[in-house]
Amino acid sequence: MPPSQRVIRDAASPLALKLDLRNYVYDGAVQLLAARLYQGQATNFRTPGGGFAPVFTSPRTRNSASGHGYESNQL
């Protein structure tokens, strides 16, 4: 499956970057959400416009078995 992508719009031209989204979990509960944007085969911090990206969450509207209290993780 190909990785998802996000487009960064800068002054020169739009740049499509791959997305790496991670959930760090301990004892069945999500502790941290992290995202990285990159080009090529490996995630690195040399890509212009790449690096860590914010992860926004929205409050849960229904109960879930996961128990972490959030859903709809989006960049």
**Strands, E, within 4-62: which ranges?**
5-9, 14-26, 29-38, 51-53, 56-59
Rounded CA separation 14/22 (Å): 25
22-67 pLDDT, tens per residue?
A: 899 999 998 999 998 888 877 677 777 788 888 888 887 555 555 5
Sort 37 into a burial class: Cβ within 10 Å, 0-12 / 13-18 / 19+: buried
pLDDT of residue 24: 92
